[in-house]
Amino acid sequence: MAMFRRSPKSPSALRRRQQEIEQREAELREKVQKLERVVTRAPQSAQDTSSGQKRGIKDGTGDQQLHVSVALEDRNYFHKSGSRRRPRSLRKERRQGRMVFLLLVVALGAAVVWLMSHLHF
């Protein structure tokens, strides 16, 4: 009975792969730290810009653009002050969504059949 031996290249390939993974992890850690620093500085810079905007408006030298947030408000995030109950089931909405989707698919199919019959491909 012969014993199978691994090729000597196998550990070096494995070791090379591990080094690549470690290098990638180090790069990702650096990116995470950099982003964390940006996030921690963000509230400070937001306060600085808001105070600068207020001064510009008071002085009459502020730009004419409106300063509005483009972020949409999420009801689940912003309105948590009320109840602590379980979120309701979305079965009805899912069923309605499926029905609308099927209706649209049928309408698309009918439009394709009508076009095929009238344009004579």
pLDDT, tens digit, for every residue of 74-90? 665 655 555 667 777 89
Domain for residue 37, yes or no?
A: yes
Q: What is the pTM of this model?
A: 0.31
Least Cα distance to 75 among 67, 91, 87, 92 occurs for 87
Number of domains the chain is built from:
2
- The dihedrals phi and psi of 34, each to the nearest 5 degrees, come to -65, -45
If you average pLDDT over residues 2-30, what whole number do you get? Answer: 81
> Which two structure tokens, joined as six digits, stand for 103?
């209706």
Distance CA 60, CA 48 (A): 18
* Owning domain of residue 115: 92-121
Domain for residue 78, yes or no?
A: no
Domain for residue 98, yes or no?
A: yes
Domain for residue 3, yes or no?
A: no
If you average pLDDT over residues 30-42, what whole number do you get? Answer: 89
Helix (H, G, I), strand (E, B) or coil at 62: coil
User: Taking a C-beta distance cutoff of 8 angstroms, is the pair 67, 49 a contact?
Assistant: no
Domain for residue 6, yes or no?
A: no
Please give the torsion angle defined by the CA atoms of residues 60, 63, 65 and 67, in that order, rounded to the nearest 10 degrees. -80
